[in-house]
Amino acid sequence: MSNAQPAAGEMIVTDEVMIQLAGVNKWYGQFHVLKEIDLTVMKGERIVICGPSGSGKSTLIRCINRLEEHQRGKIMVDGVELTHDLKNIEKVRREVGMVFQHFNLFPHLTVLENLTLAPIWVKKVPKREAEETAMHYLNRVKIPEQAQKYPGQLSGGQQQRVAIARSLCMSPKVMLFDEPTSALDPEMIKEVLDVMIELAQSGMTMICVTHEMGFARTVANRVIFMDRGEIIEQNEPEEFFNNPQSDRTKLFLSQILHH
């Protein structure tokens, strides 16, 4: 067995529930995009979601911070239920960080200002302190020298690392990743995955939509396969990749592993 990276089991998973989805359904008009989703995520757990394009992966994780609204079922995040109550929604968003495929950095602000915006305005952290925290996280994603630049002056990989640091500045309890590497040039994927692996090792609860199977093997406790709005199967990574149960999973894996 190789032991360059700690195996998934070595990272602590508690028996405290962090996120719970029960019977979640969502429609876009007539289109039933999420069907009876049940999912429990423990504190410290790292989950990878994969599945064909259009299967509802993004929609699912966007429901967790209410960027999308579910119509039936129940979503609890750290003991707070997501309803129309704006107070609860903002509370959940403060505790859930999200990293997008296209970074969604604010182009009119410098990297440092991107990182301090939410701490200053949402958490009312003094500016000086917010900047110290920001520099700490920029160091962690290994680009402290870019602090005064604008996002447009950075490479894709650097922008995505800034986006990760931006979320971390809010000290979230959960991090959601929606295909964080799929808009990147191949040579930049590794630098972003390295940051994510390090984050996983620090004990962060993570849900990642990604097709990076190496990443899934390294850090995931569980891999979930979605198709047409349903969770088709879920398992530990080794089991999932070596011994997929359903035909759809097998087909999907053969497609992404042999392309």
Ligand X SMILES: Nc1ncnc2c1ncn2[C@@H]1O[C@H](COP(=O)(O)OP(=O)(O)O)[C@@H](O)[C@H]1O
DSSP-H helix ranges across 123-229 = 127-140, 156-168, 186-201, 213-219
Q: Is 153 in the site for other proteins (CB under 8 A)?
A: yes
Per CB under 8 A, which region of 46-54, 127-135, 146-154, 237-245 contacts other proteins? 146-154
Query: DSSP labels for 29-62?
Result: TTEEEEEEEEEEEETT-EEEEE--TTSSHHHHHH
Options 15, 152, 186, 247; binder of other proteins; rule CB under 8 A: 152
Q: Are 96 and 79 in contact, with CB atoms under 8 Å apart?
A: no
Closest by Cα among 223, 230, 225 to 36: 230
CB atoms within 10 A of CB 31: 8
Interface ranges with Mg ion (CB under 5 A):
58
The 44-63 site mask, x for binding ligand X (CB under 6 A), equals -------x-xxxxxxx----
The only residue of 28, 123, 236, 250 in contact with ligand X, by rule CB under 6 A: 28
Site for ligand X contains 33 (CB under 6 A): yes
Q: Does residue 248 interact with other proteins by CB under 8 A?
A: no
Give me the numbers of helices (H) and strands (E) for the chain, helices first please.
Answer: 9, 10
Contact positions vs ligand X (CB under 6 A): 28, 31, 33, 51, 53-59
Contact positions vs other proteins (CB under 8 A): 65, 67, 90, 93-94, 96-98, 100, 102-108, 117-118, 121-122, 150-153, 166-167, 170
